[in-house]
């Protein structure tokens, strides 16, 4: 069984259903409101464990009801939460998702306890990282903690996957050089490289710029169109599955968790892993919400 460690954010999502995004100064009525577990890190960890990987999570929550809700969610999925700790002052992270009738979303984030993760927290999890096959992180927790986690991973020959989201253009050079695979979407790829990703030639250009920054392998996801890869000096494109999209929340996180669970350490099955991840994501977008929409492996296997 694949061993995966995810360092990342834990949020409780409040989903606000609206017909369209409001204009500046406009007041609108919502058609519905719901609450679900979220956070990019937690979503990716749950995707990995539902994909069949032995998954451990490194994160922080507060001393509130939202924290209790998330702990129960993690336990129900069988996620190892030995390194999920409580901050005594900051509240559990929150996300407010504006979801329109076309299934597109805009998200507002309160970082809370996610922003209190320290390098000491990472060092306390060093044995767990060292024993993993793969370590995944994103940008909803402090960058210094990600760098420390990737350092430990590479000292122990653990594959590192960086999901550079939310988008940043000031990523530490050391973090990029410690990254085995970077997985941005088109917006994030443009923020890092300055290349507007619109077609396959621009994907190649963006990937080449990421290579010059020190990243060995690149996957760029482009939503309903699919995903591009530049891996082991080979480029290719995997088309997405065509489905009726209800809500794109957690689609990218599902892709990463499922991708990591399937990927061989030498990346030799890159297209197979991407197709597997794309199939899982196509199921996620057909249900509203984040973690509740992430499928079990029995519903994804070909």
Binding site: residue ranges?
A: 11-13, 39-43, 140, 185, 221-226, 247, 249, 252-253, 284, 287, 289, 293
Q: For residues 141 and 248, what is the distance between their CA atoms, to the nearest angstrom?
A: 22
- What residue has token string 């990600």? 146
Binding residue ranges for substrate: 11-13, 39-43, 140, 253
Facing residues of 106 across strands? 98
Residue 38: left (phi > 0), alpha (psi -120 to 50), or beta? beta
φ and ψ at residue 273, rounded to 5 degrees: -65, -40
Count of CB atoms situated within 10 Å of the CB of 232? 11
Among residues 32, 77, 253, 266, which one is catalytic?
Answer: 253
Q: Which secondary-structure segment (H or E) carries 44?
A: helix 40-50
Residue 124: left (phi > 0), alpha (psi -120 to 50), or beta? alpha
**Has 100 been annotated as catalytic?**
no
Q: For residues 38 and 62, what is the distance between their CA atoms, to the nearest angstrom?
A: 15
Binding residue ranges for K(+): 247, 249, 284, 287, 289, 293
Q: How do beta strands 105-110 and 93-99 pair?
A: antiparallel
Which residues lie closer than 8 Å to 158 by C-beta, 6 or more apart? 5, 129, 130, 132, 133, 134, 135, 152
Q: Are 162 and 251 in contact (CB under 8 A)?
A: no
* Three-state secondary-structure class, residue 173: helix
Instruction: List residues with catalytic annotation.
Output: 253
């Amino acid at each position: 069984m694949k061993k995966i460690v995810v360092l990342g954010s834990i949020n409780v999502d409040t989903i606000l259903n609206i017909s369209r995004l409001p204009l500046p100064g406009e007041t609108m009525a919502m058609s519905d409101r719901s609450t679900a577990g979220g956070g990019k890190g937690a979503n990716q960890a749950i995707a990995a464990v539902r994909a069949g990987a032995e998954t451990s999570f490194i994160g922080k929550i507060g001393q509130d009801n939202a924290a209790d809700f998330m702990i129960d969610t993690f336990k129900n999925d069988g996620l190892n939460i030995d390194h999920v700790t409580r901050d005594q002052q900051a509240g559990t992270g929150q996300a407010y998702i504006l979801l329109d009738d076309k299934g597109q979303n805009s998200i507002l984030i309160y970082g809370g306890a996610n922003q209190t993760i320290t390098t000491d927290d990472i060092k306390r999890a060093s044995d767990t990282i060292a024993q993993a096959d793969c370590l995944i992180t994103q940008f909803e927790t402090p960058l210094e903690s990600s760098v420390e986690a990737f350092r430990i991973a590479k000292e122990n020959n653990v594959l590192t996957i960086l999901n550079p989201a939310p988008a940043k253009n000031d990523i530490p050079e050391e973090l990029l050089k410690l990254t085995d695979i970077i997985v941005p979407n088109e917006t994030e790829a443009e923020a890092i490289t300055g290349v507007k990703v619109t077609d396959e030639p621009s994907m190649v250009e963006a990937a080449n710029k990421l290579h010059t920054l020190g990243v060995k392998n690149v996957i760029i996801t482009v939503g309903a169109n699919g995903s591009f890869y530049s891996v082991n000096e080979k480029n290719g494109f995997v088309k997405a599955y065509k489905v009726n999209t209800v809500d794109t929340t957690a689609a990218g996180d599902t892709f990463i968790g499922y991708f990591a669970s399937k990927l061989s350490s030498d990346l030799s099955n890159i297209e197979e892993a991407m197709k597997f991840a794309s199939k899982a994501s196509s199921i996620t977008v057909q249900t509203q919400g984040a973690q509740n929409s992430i499928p079990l492996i029995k519903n994804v296997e070909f």
